[in-house]
Structure 1
Amino acid sequence: MNNKKKNEGQTDFSYYGLYLLDYLRTNKFEQASDAAFIRERADRAAEMYEKARLEGYATDGAQELAMDTLLRGLRYSRYAILREVVENEFSDEVPEEKREAFIHKLLPLVGNVFSVYDLSDDNFALSSDYDLLYTELTGATVLYIGEYGV
């Protein structure tokens, strides 16, 4: 029954809408509860696919363009980046069964660290800013664990 309630209101999403909804939920983006945002993105992705096919793109190429349209500006979530830091740098300190709760507890406390970085840049992970953010989050996590533990 819980799954039924969780899936209510999603039955009218297209393939792209369902894909985006899953992606947003998995990576804990704030837009996961914004049906209008999801529909608008999904519609643009479907239009891109159709346009690309009409222009002669192969199915795979059209799909790639549609997915780029669907996910543009949504490559990096605060949650996913913090999860990466915790998994890579603190696997010994934060046991796997406690990571999810730990990340949820820590995320609001490091919000100001994220505020100076543009996570909507699809090339953010390739920039030196990503390395700076990663280092700052690692430091903030060290301080938190030192002060409060896991």
Structure 2
Amino acid sequence: MLEINRGLYDFNYYYLYLLQYLRSNKYEVDSDHPQLQANSIAALDAFEDARRNGATVTMAEEEAIRVLFTNIGESEYNIISELILENFGDTIDLDSTEAVEYWTNQVMTDIPDLFEGFDRMAIGLDPLDLSIMENEIVGKIVIYLSDNGLQ
């Protein structure tokens, strides 16, 4: 999981913002990943450049956030949670947030090759690859549920 490395990046708002986002969406990435550092520095530069060029704080912030999330894909955890909710609500009990979390963690733990074959971005999964391979992922989950008597 993400661990904060105390250093230069502690004072970069965008670095901390990105770390918090990744943590809350359960990305599996090291806090020292070069992409995080590069994106946070680029976002800070984008904010400063926008302000120097006359942009309002809100406009500069929007540009910085856009730059901050460059090459950040979708969270595997969120993908599985959404697929479970969309496709398996009638098969397994998903009446609470805890139930969805339980089944998401269970599926991710018990099917380690769930995302095999994906061309991975630096962080997260490419949404285009996901749209192409979504049926394959759902199929693996169906097989898992069937093998465990839940389908």
Q: TM-score range by the shorter chain?
A: 0.7 to 0.9
1:8 and 1:36, CA in 2 relative to 1: closer, same or farther beyond 3 A?
Answer: closer
**How has the CA–CA distance of structure 1 residues 69 and 109 changed in structure 2, closer, same or farther, with 3 Å as cutoff?**
farther
> Deviations along 1:66-117, whole A, 9 cap, x unmatched?
1122111113122211111011111231423322122122225555442333
Matched, 1:136 2:133: no
Choose 79-88 or 108-117, whichever is displaced more.
108-117
Rate the CA distance shift 1:110–1:49 in 2: closer, same or farther, 3 A. Answer: farther
Residue 99 of structure 2: aligned partner: 98
Partner of 1:41: 39
Contact 2:51 2:60 in 1 (8 A): yes
Structure 1 distance, partners of 2:28, 2:110, is 16
Mapped to 2, the partners of 1:111 and 1:54 lie a distance apart of 48
1:57 to 51, 55, 70: 55
Q: Distance in 1 between matches of 2:136 and 2:111?
A: 9
Matched residue type, 2:134: Y
CA 55–109 in structure 1, closer or farther in 2 if over 3 Å, else same: farther
* Shift in CA distance, 72/133, structure 1 to aligned 2, threshold 3 Å: same
Which stretch shifts more, 132-141 or 38-47?
38-47
Q: Percent of counterpart pairs with the same letter?
A: 28
Deviations along 1:21-47, one digit per CA (max 9) or x if unpaired, are 11111222222x324644443222111
1:69 maps to which of 55, 62, 67: 67
Contact 2:39–2:68, Cα closer than 8 Å, also in 1: yes
Question: By percentage of residues, which structure has more helix?
Answer: 1
Cα RMSD, aligned residues only: 3.2
Structure 2 portions without partners, runs of 5+: none
Whether contact under 8 Å (1:44, 1:69) holds in the other structure is yes
> What are the ranges of 5 or more consecutive residues in structure 1 without an aligned counterpart?
1-5
Equivalent pairs counted in the alignment come to 142
Question: Partner of 2:116 in structure 1?
Answer: 115
Preserved CA contact (<8 Å) 1:41 1:69? yes
The one-letter code matched in structure 2 to 1:34 is S
Deviation of 1:58 after TM superposition, in Å, equals 2.9
Q: Could you tell me whether the CA contact under 8 Å between 2:39 and 2:70 is conserved in 1?
A: no
